[in-house]
Amino acid sequence: MKVIKQKSAFFAFLRRLRFIRRWGLMRNTEVENNQEHSLDVAFIAHNLGLLHNLQGGAVDVNHLAVLAMYHDVSEIFTGDMPTPIKYFHPTLRELYGEVERLAQEKMLRTLPVELQGAYESCLLGQMSEEEAKLLKAADTLAAFMKCAIEKQAGNGEFNEAYDSILKKLHAMSLPAVEQFLDLYMDSLTASLDTLNYSSLED
């Protein structure tokens, strides 16, 4: 039996995800943090992978969900940079990408050496092209769902983001994304009473 003696701050750092607020430049009716977002993206990625596989894909949906769990782990050290700033200029995006990579490597090094190999692909974002497309789609779907909920709450701050993100989703040309939108979006903003009544009728 292998006994690991190295102490690790891995989970101490992971817990910090809950302190990182998203959508920092926009007025929110419902505050969202990175820990909540990461779980949302994992839920979506798993389902999206299943839909993708029903249409001929061959992605490991459990691995995809784990990739999603850790996709924003670098922001423990960098914070959440708003999209308009991150993509303001190619040089800035390139520099931020390098900072993200260094943060990912730092997070990996917090683990005991014996475990680093098992986490490397997840923490460093190493994935196939198929996985990358689905993960990007899941992340974008999570943002779109946030916009839909804010719009339903009467927050016009998210109207333009809703429209632009929906265009991005359609532009991905992924059948699984279109099916996800068709299956789940109508009920997303329904009240609990409506959901309960609908489920009783079914």
Residues 103-123 pLDDT 10s: 999 999 999 999 999 999 999
Give the total number of structural domains in the chain: 1
**Residue 178, in any domain of the structure:** yes
Q: Tell me if 73 sits within 8 A of 104, measured CB to CB.
A: yes
How high is the mean pLDDT of the chain?
Answer: 92
**The domain containing residue 103 runs over which residues?**
10-15+34-73+81-185
Cα angle 74, 76, 82 (rounded to 5 degrees) comes to: 75
**Rounded mean pLDDT, 20-31:** 92
pTM: 0.89
Confidence of residue 88 (pLDDT cuts 50, 70, 90): low
Secondary structure (H, E, C), the chain = CCCCCCCCCHHHHHHHHHHCECCCCCCCCCCCEHHHHHHHHHHHHHHHHHHHHHCCCCCCHHHHHHHHHCCCCCHHHHCCCCHHHHCCCHHHHHHHHHHHHHHHHHHHHCCCHHHHHHHHHHHCCCCCHHHHHHHHHHHHHHHHHHHHHHHHCCCHHHHHHHHHHHHHHHHCCCHHHHHHHHHHHHHHCCCHHHHHHHHHHC
pLDDT at 97 over 80: no
Burial pattern 159-188, b for ≥16 Cβ within 10 A else e, equals eebbeebbeebeebebebbebbbeeeeeee
56 lies in a domain?
A: yes
- Residue 107: which CATH number? 1.10.3210.10
Tell me if 21 is assigned to some domain: no
Q: What is the mean pLDDT of residues 158-168?
A: 97
Does residue 196 belong to any structural domain of this protein? Answer: no
pLDDT, one tens digit per residue, over 28-81 is 999 999 999 999 999 999 999 999 999 999 999 999 999 999 999 999 988 776
